[in-house]
Amino acid sequence: MPFATNGPVKLHWESVGQGPAVLLIPGQGMTADGWWPTIPILARSFRVITFDNRDTGRSSRLAWPYSVTQMAGDAVAVLDAAGEQRAHVYGISLGSCVAQELALRHPDRVQALVLGASTGGGFATWLPTESARSFFARVGAMGPEEAEWAAVAYTHGEKTRRLHADRIVANVDRRVSSPVAPLTYLHQMAAAGTHNAYERLSRIAAPTLVVHGEQDVVVPPVNALVLAEKIPGAQLRLWPEAGHMYIIDEPRADEEIARFLLHDSALWPATEAAVVGQRPSASSASISRVLATSRRS
Q: Domain map of the chain by residue range?
A: 3-296
Neighbours of 256 (CB within 10 A): 19
Whole-angstrom distance, CA of residue 188 vs CA of residue 83: 28
Helix (H) or strand (E) holding 95: helix 94-105
The pLDDT > 70 percentage for the chain reads 91
Whole-angstrom distance, CA of residue 46 vs CA of residue 42: 6
| Inter-residue contact 215 to 129 (CB < 8 Å) | no
Q: Which amino acid is at 296?
A: R
pTM, entire model: 0.91
Residue 274 binned pLDDT confidence (cut-offs 50, 70, 90): very low
Nearest one of 131, 129, 151, 133 to 142, comparing CA atoms: 151
- What DSSP designation does 176 have? H
Residue 149 binned pLDDT confidence (cut-offs 50, 70, 90): very high
Predicted confidence (pLDDT) at residue 288 exceeds the cutoff of 80: no
Burial of 123 (C-beta count, 10 Å sphere; 0-12/13-18/19+): exposed
Q: C-alpha 29: how far from its chain's center? A: 12
Over the stretch 203-259, which tens digit does the pLDDT of each residue have? 999 999 999 999 999 999 999 999 999 999 999 999 999 999 999 999 999 999 999
Whole-angstrom distance, CA of residue 144 vs CA of residue 178: 9
Neighbours of 55 (CB within 10 A): 23
Architecture of domain 3-296: 3-Layer(aba) Sandwich (3.40)
Provide the mean pLDDT of the chain.
92
The pLDDT > 90 percentage for the chain reads 82
Q: What ranges make up the beta strands (E) of the chain?
A: 3-6, 9-16, 21-25, 47-51, 87-92, 110-116, 208-213, 235-239
